[in-house]
Structure 1
Amino acid sequence: MSPGPEIPVQVWVDGQLFQAEQSLLVEHCGFFRGLFRSGMREGERPELAADDELLQAVECAAFLQAPALARFLEYSVTSDNCSLLCDAAAAFGLHDVLHSAALFIRDGAHELVAELELPEARAYVAGLRPSTYVAVSTHTPTPGFLEDASRTMCYLDEEEDAWRTLAALPLEASTLLAGVATLGNKLYIVGGVCGASKEVVELSFCYDPEGGTWGEFPSPHQPRYDLALAGFEGRLYAIGGEFQRTPMSSVECYDPTTGCWSFVADLPQPATGVPCAHTRGRLFVCLWRPADITAVVEYVVQMDKWLPVAELCHSQSYGHFMVAHRDSLYVVRNGPSDDFLHCAIDCLNLVTGQWTSLPGQFVNSKGALFTSVVRGDTVYTVNRVSTLVYAIEDGTWRLLREKAGFPRPGSLQTFLLRLPPGTTGPVATALPEL
C-alpha cells in the first residue's frame, strides 16, 4: 500500500498564511529541519532516562537552531552527563554536541559506553580514536649532515608502558623557547631560537598525524620566542614572548582557513612564557607582577579584550604552567620558597572566584614538574623518572597510576593527539649522560 499524500504545513508570516510541503521545508530550511527532527517531530519521543532539564536544553538547541546554546552544551560535557548528551545529541541532530560528548567518552569514560541507549550514539563513539599523550623535548635546528636521533616527538604507549618514537622533527625546527600547541588534531610549532644569541627561528611548522607529515605555515608578523601558543575556538593565538631580548605584550591570531595572522588586543603587560589554559569556551593566561602576585586574565574574543579574573600572592614563588578542568584552573608553581624540587598547586574556582591549595607537595627528584595535560577527568604529568596520572576529584589530584618516565633530557612540552589506528614506532631509548 503506497503512502498517502503529504499533508501541507501551514505557516503564518506577518499575518499571511502560506502552505508548503514538509519535505521541501526540511530540505531547504535549517529551522524547519531542526523543528521536525526535534522533540516536536511526528512519532515517539526517544526514551532517554536522564536529567530532564539537560534533555530539554538539547531539544531547545535543535528546535530553535540556537548555536550559542549548542556551544554551551559542548562546554558542559562531564563524566556525569556525557552519556545523556551523546544520546540526546544523536537523537536530535546536534553534531557538535554529539562529537564533544563522544570524544569525552572515548578518552576516558569507557565504562559509560554501556549507558548509551541509542545504537547510533554507540556506533559514533566506537568510530572515534582516543587521544594519546605526546611529548617533545628541547631541540634547536641542526644541519642535515649531523644526524641526531633524539630530535623526535614521542608518544606514551600505555599498554606496553614505554615511550615510542612518533616522528622526527624538521631539521629547521626549534622547540627551544618555541610556542607549541594543538588545534584540530594537528600540532603547531611557532618561533623558538637557535644559538647563544637567541636568533629567532622564522619558520613555523605543522604536523598532521593522519599522514605523519610535516608542513610549513605562515609565521606571525612579529618574530617572537618564549611565547605562549594556544589553540582555541578554531584559531591559534601567539601570546606575548620576547624579541631581541625585549618582552612584548602583543598577541596575534592565526586562522587556518585563511592562512593569515592578525593582531588582536595586547596583553595588559609585556610577558614571556605565560602559562595559558582554556575551559568552558574561555581562554586564560597567568601574568607575574611585582610583590609576588600571580594575576589571571581572560581573553574575551567577542570584545577583543583582556579582562582581569583573579589574583594570588605567594612569596618567592612563581608559576610554571596552568591546566584547566571544568570550572577550575590549576596553577602549578615551585614551592615552598625556593625549593625547585617540589611543586605546589593552587586551584581557582571560576564560579566562586576562590583560591584553594591542593594538599601535599608534588615531589620530582630529577627535575621539577613543568608540564601537564588534562584528558577527561585525569591529568598527565611527566619527567625523566616517571609519568604520573592523577584523577581530578573534588578539586584534588589523586594518584591513579605510574608509567615510564620520558627517556630524553631537556625541558618538555606535552600535548594530546589522536593517532591513526596501528600507529607504532621504535621504543625511545635513553641517551648517554653528558
Structure 2
Amino acid sequence: MTGGNLMETSSCAGSEVDARKSHHQPTASARTMVKVRCGESLFTLDRSLLEQHCEYFRALFQSGMRECTEDEICLQVPSARGFLVALRVIHGERPMLSADEIVDAIQCAAFLQIELLTEHLTDVIDSDNCLLMYHTAATFGLLKLFESAALFVRDMYADLKEDAKCLPEDLIEYVECLVPSTYVTVGSHSPTIKLLQDFMRTVCYLDEDEKDWKVLTHLPLNASTTMAGVTVLDNKLYIVGGVYDISNKVVDSGFCYDVSTDTWSTFSSPQQLRYNCTLVGHVGDLYVIGGEFEKTVMSSVERYKVSSDTWSFAAHLPRPASTVACAKAMRRLFICLWKPKDATEIYEYVASKDEWVLITKLVRHQSYGHCMVAHRDNLYLVRNGPSDDFLRCVMDCYNLTSGQWTAMPGQYENSKGALFTAVVRGNSVFTVNRRATVEYAIEDNKWRTKKQMTGFPRVGSMWTSLLRLPKQSRLLLQKKDNGVEIFSGLNSSASVHCVD
C-alpha cells in the first residue's frame, strides 16, 4: 500500500536485487516506492514521504549515490522499533510511548534527522519520562529535545530533585542553571493620563517562595487590557484589541513586553479592530480569534507574523463568537464553542490546511464550557455548575488519544472565576482570584490541591500565563531605587492600595 509501513520477511541478498534490475525496468509506480531494511524487518514505503520528512533520506536520494537507485536500502539504526515509531509519526499519528520506545525513537530521530519525530517527542514529555528524555537526548545529541526536556525538568525540579540525582553531575548542573517558568497575571485596566497614572496598572508575577504577588512591569500609558486579548509567545507578552472606555472605542495598536530587556514596544493592529477577542500564540504566530466590533459578534480570525509585522485573515470560525476558550495540546490548537442547546463543541485549527475541524461535542443540561486547559494529551473542560451556578464548577476530561470523555468527580470552587484563569506548568495547574492563588496537582481523575498562596488583589477579568524571567531581571527587581524598593508584596500596607 502506498505510504504504508508493510513488513516483509525477505533477505537483502544482492543477487536478488541484481536479477530484478537485469530483467525488468522499474515502472513509474515502482519508482515511487522504496524498500527499507532495518534489522530483520523490511518496510515498503513512499519514497517522496521519506524525502519530505527525513533529512537522511533527502540527502541520500539527492546524492546520486548507488544506494539511492537500488530497490532496497539497509539502515544501520539500532532497532526497528524506533523506526516504526518514526513512521507512525510521519503518517500523522501521535502515539504515547513506553520507556523503551522513547529511547529507540530518540536514537532514530538523531540518526535520521526526522524533525516531526523530534517535535512529537517534545510534545509527549511528562513527569514520568522527562529525566529519561533529558538524559537520552543528551547522549545522542538531539539538541531541541534536550533543551525542551531540561526546561521541563527545571519547572518541576522541586518534585523531581531526588530522582534527578541519578543523572550525571553535568546534566544536574545544567538544569539548576536554567530559569524556571513564573506565573504571571495582568488584570483588566483602561488607559490613563500621565498626571493621573494608575499605579495598579501592572503586570505581576507570583513569588512562590514568599507566596505573594509582586510587580513585574507597568503597562504603557496608552495600553488597555479591558476586553483585550492577552497571551505569551516566545517568552514575550502580547496585548491586542481591547477598549479605551465605556464608549467601547477600540485600541488601534498592539503592545509587546519583552521580559529579557524589560521594555515595551508597539506593533500594528489586526485589519479588523475588535474587543472581547481571544489571542493565542501557535506555531510561531499570533492568532486573534473572534470578538466584537460595534456590538457585533464576529467569526473572523487573523494571523500575525511577528517577523514581518503583518496581519492576514485565516479561516473563519464555524460561527460568530467572543471570549472564546482555547488551549494548546500536543502542538495542536483547540477552541470550544457553545451551540444551543446544552452543547459545547471542541474544534481544532489545522494550520497546514487553514481550517477548523470539529473534534467532539459534549452535551450537558444548562451547562457550557467556559475554560479549557490542556495537559499531556488531555483537554480539561471547565463548565459552570448546574443551572448556571458559577460559584461551583464541574469538569470533564477529553483524551485526544482515545477520543473518550471522562467526567471528573466532584465539584470545584470557582469563587470570582478562579478556574476560568487556569495555567498549566509541568504537572501543576495554577488558578487565581482575589482571595487565593491555588496550585493543583493534576492526577488521573482529579485535580488535588497542592498549595495555596495569596490571591491577586484586583477586580475584573484576569489573564494568566507563564514567563521565564531572566536572572538579571530577578536581581534588578530585588534592588532598591534611591532607597525605595522597586516592588513589594501587593497585599502589604506599603504597596499598592486595592479597592474591594
SS at match of 2:272: coil
Q: Which residue of 2 aligns with 1:417?
A: 467
Structure 2 Cα separation of the partners of residues 119 and 432 of structure 1: 47
Structure 1 Cα separation of the partners of residues 383 and 205 of structure 2: 25
Kindly report which structure 2 residues correspond to 1:23-34, keeping only aligned pairs within 5 A, or say none.
none
Kindly report which structure 2 residues correspond to 1:259-270, keeping only aligned pairs within 5 A, or say none.
259-270=309-320
SS at match of 1:106: helix
Change (3 A) 1:367 1:14: closer
Q: Which residue of 2 aligns with 1:431?
A: 497
One-letter code aligned to 2:105: A
Q: Retained in 2: the 8 A contact 1:286–1:297?
A: yes
Q: Retained in 2: the 8 A contact 1:342–1:368?
A: no
Kindly report which structure 2 residues correspond to 1:11-410, keeping only aligned pairs within 5 A, or say none.
14=64, 16=66, 51-112=99-160, 114-115=164-165, 117-367=167-417, 369-410=419-460
- Listed as ranges, the gaps of 5+ residues in structure 2 are 1-59, 68-74, 80-97, 479-486
Structure 2 Cα separation of the partners of residues 261 and 99 of structure 1: 31
SS at match of 2:389: coil
TM-score normalised by structure 2 residue count: 0.75
Structure 1 Cα separation of the partners of residues 393 and 387 of structure 2: 10
Change (3 A) 1:432 1:85: closer
Q: Which residue of 2 aligns with 1:45?
A: none
Cα deviation, residue 385, structure 1: 0.9
Change (3 A) 1:14 1:240: same
SS at match of 2:195: coil
Structure 2 Cα separation of the partners of residues 226 and 368 of structure 1: 19
SS at match of 1:370: helix
Cα deviation, residue 119, structure 1: 4.5
Aligned length: 398
SS at match of 2:196: coil
Among all aligned residue pairs of Structure 1 and Structure 2, give the percentage whose two residues are the same amino acid: 51
Q: Retained in 2: the 8 A contact 1:84–1:116?
A: no
Structure 1 Cα separation of the partners of residues 426 and 123 of structure 2: 12
One-letter code aligned to 1:61: A
Structure 2 Cα separation of the partners of residues 285 and 207 of structure 1: 25
TM-score normalised by structure 1 residue count: 0.86
Cα deviation, residue 162, structure 1: 1.1
Cα deviation, residue 296, structure 1: 0.1
Cα deviation, residue 270, structure 1: 1.0
Q: Which residue of 2 aligns with 1:46?
A: none
Name the structure, 1 or 2, with higher relative contact order (CA <8 Å, separation 6+): 1
Once the two structures are superposed, residues 377-413 of structure 1 have per-residue CA deviations (whole angstroms, 9 ceiling, x without a partner) of 0000011111111000113101111111111222211
Cα deviation, residue 115, structure 1: 4.7
Which structure carries more helix by proportion? 2
Q: Which residue of 2 aligns with 1:28?
A: none
Once the two structures are superposed, residues 218-248 of structure 1 have per-residue CA deviations (whole angstroms, 9 ceiling, x without a partner) of 2211111111111122111111111111111
SS at match of 1:270: coil
Q: Report the structure number with the largest CA radius of gyration.
A: 2
Q: Retained in 2: the 8 A contact 1:82–1:105?
A: yes
Once the two structures are superposed, residues 314-350 of structure 1 have per-residue CA deviations (whole angstroms, 9 ceiling, x without a partner) of 2222322111001111111221212221111121111
